[in-house]
Amino acid sequence: MAGEKTVETTGLLGWIDKRFPLTSLFKEHMSEYYAPKNFNFWYFFGSLALLVLVIQIVTGIFLVMNYKPDGNLAFDSVEYIMREVPWGWLIRYMHSTGASMFFVVVYLHMLRGLFYGSYRKPRELVWVFGMAIFLCLMGEAFMGYLLPWGQMSYWGAQVIVNLFSAIPFIGPELSLWIRGDYVVSDATLNRFFAFHVIAIPLILIGLVVAHIIALHEVGSNNPDGVEIKDGPKDANGHPVDGIPFHPYYSVHDIMGVAGFLIVFAAIIFFGPEMGGYFLEYNNFIPADSLTTPSHIAPVWYFTPFYSMLRAITADFTWVLAACSLIAAVAMFFKGNLRGVWRLAVPVILILVAVLLRTLDAKFWGVVAMGGSVVILFFLPWLDYSPVRSIRYRPSWHKFLYAIFIVVFLILGFLGTQAPTPTYNLMSQIGTLIYFGFFLLMPVWSRLGTFKPVPERITFHAH
């Protein structure tokens, strides 16, 4: 930048800088990366997610030293870690608690992005990388869930993998390929172990690096949704509404880390099972292929999607087919589609309505579960709001966000419960609301009276 002086490093650091851009990387991504100065509480969770990733990798390395991926020895090796390995119980509880806390901070991180429009232009790729991280994290958690080889590990994996058999034509072969056997067995344990320990972590780390690089290329969003790069700049060309990430936000994040570690430690030392939500009681029983638990449910962070899976019954497909036909008529007569798309989209929706009554409901349950995650990738192109931040949207938009959050939490609760007619009806209503929130976003996101967005960010010093 104009007016800045380049200081050449000397000594060991200078020797490294001549061979590796250590100082320039630190400046680019820390000390000279200017972030908006109005970050609030919601901006803790990105750095906390990175912290939990490090915790999971480090504790995982120590667990692998004593874990045996063998159908006859896996459960006993976990017990050995808990009872015989010095501090093994602490490492195992850090890892199991870390898995749940990872999803806590990631869900809150995603919620912040939803509130402040962090997925909007020019940050579409940042959001897509983030959603790819979330998808990998789900795969990592699912495969790690099998490794303790307890009753819920075994039967949970059996149920979820069997779902793939509902896919037409390739389903049975696909589920057989995933398991490596006709039932969940030692072969399944070994391949899940390999993916959990090596393959997915490597992909996850690569995506995290890409996510951060993409973020720093376009700059961070803020609660006002104002681009500080487009605002006034100082003599050195830095935005006046920004401050260097280091030391200001590195110290800011340390406060968030301290608070998080207090909660994290409290759970580990006083309630690592969290009432059976973080560690299910049935998983302290060795896997038995001849004894099925009375109620099989995934871990809490999968239960909202599991509820949507269970909600799709043969009767409910009539409702979905009707919704698809109504959407086809609305898109043809009231949609903003032009050219060939005006006819193509309604025809596709009519075809979907026919297939909903033709294909097995179990298949559509799998589609709903997968679609509930995949639809999040398209959020940047579904939101037509003229403003980014929830601060400047109509008040009833906030009410819609509140309904969405409550419905997601209710779906999570329903997924932990044994199915009943009442719970199933609630899951079906929740599924309609969940998908309606996103599929109707191009319509409702542009409606209402929007508040004027300030030219510069609003900031009040602490």
For 292-333, the pLDDT digits (tens) are: 888 888 899 999 999 999 999 999 999 999 999 998 888 877
Token couple for 1: 């930048």
**In a shared domain, residues 273 and 135:** yes
What's the pLDDT at 331?
82
* 196 marked among binding-site residues: yes
Q: Does 3 have pLDDT greater than 70?
A: no
Phi, psi of 96 (to 5 degrees): -70, -40
Q: Does 134 have pLDDT greater than 80?
A: yes
The answer to whether 363 and 168 are in contact (CB under 8 A) is: yes
Q: What is residue 244's three-state secondary structure?
A: strand
Name the packing angle between helices 124-146 and 88-116 (round to 10°): 150
What's the pLDDT at 168?
86
CA–CA dist 61, 385 (Å, integer)? 45
- What are the CB-based long-range contacts (under 8 Å, 24+) for 316-321? 316/361, 316/428, 317/356, 317/357, 317/361, 317/364, 318/357, 319/428, 319/432, 320/353, 320/356, 320/364, 321/352, 321/353, 321/354, 321/356, 321/357
For residues 69-92, give the mean pLDDT.
96
The answer to whether 354 and 337 are in contact (CB under 8 A) is: no
Q: List residues bridging with 243 in a β-sheet.
A: 35
For residues 214-218, give the mean pLDDT.
94
**In a shared domain, residues 277 and 311:** no
Q: Does 422 have pLDDT greater than 50?
A: yes
**In a shared domain, residues 130 and 266:** yes
When computed from its CA atoms, the radius of gyration of the chain, rounded to whole angstroms, is 25
What's the pLDDT at 462?
55
**In a shared domain, residues 228 and 357:** no
Q: Taking Cα atoms as reference points, which of 369, 384, 364, 356 lies closest to residue 312?
A: 364
88 contacts: CB under 8 Å, gap ≥ 6: 66, 80, 81, 82
- Domain-terminating residue out of 284, 310, 336: 284
Q: Does 8 have pLDDT greater than 80?
A: no
Q: How many residues does the chain have?
A: 462
Lowest mean per-residue pLDDT among 6-15, 94-103, 167-176, 276-285: 6-15
User: Percent of the chain at pLDDT above 70?
Assistant: 98
167 contacts: CB under 8 Å, gap ≥ 6: 174, 363, 366
User: What DSSP state is assigned to residue 17?
Assistant: H
**In a shared domain, residues 279 and 304:** no
* Alpha helices per DSSP H over 235-283: 250-270
**In a shared domain, residues 383 and 411:** yes
For residues 346-368, give the mean pLDDT.
91
Q: What is residue 242's three-state secondary structure?
A: strand
Q: How confident is the model at residue 286 (pLDDT cuts 50, 70, 90)?
A: very high
What's the pLDDT at 34?
92
Q: Taking Cα atoms as reference points, which of 134, 115, 117, 132 lies closest to residue 41?
A: 115
For residues 132-153, give the mean pLDDT.
95
The answer to whether 453 and 224 are in contact (CB under 8 A) is: yes
* 252 marked among binding-site residues: no
Q: Is 456 part of any domain?
A: no
**In a shared domain, residues 26 and 78:** yes
Average pLDDT of the chain? Answer: 92
**In a shared domain, residues 164 and 255:** yes
Q: Is 146 part of any domain?
A: yes
Q: Is 123 part of any domain?
A: yes
For residues 354-368, give the mean pLDDT.
91
**In a shared domain, residues 415 and 320:** yes
What's the pLDDT at 1?
45
**In a shared domain, residues 189 and 97:** yes
Q: Is 453 part of any domain?
A: no
- Domain-terminating residue out of 256, 284, 312: 284
The verdict on whether omega for the bond into residue 247 sits within 30 degrees of 0, i.e. cis, is yes
* Number of separate domains in the chain: 2
**In a shared domain, residues 359 and 254:** no
For residues 353-381, give the mean pLDDT.
93
**In a shared domain, residues 276 and 320:** no
Look up the CATH number of the domain holding residue 361. Answer: 1.20.810.10
Q: Which tens digit of pLDDT belongs to each residue from 372-402? A: 999 999 999 999 999 999 999 999 999 999 9
Q: What is the DSSP string of 303-321?
A: HHHHHHHHH--TTHHHHHH
- Domain-terminating residue out of 234, 253, 284: 284
Domain extent at residue 368: 300-444
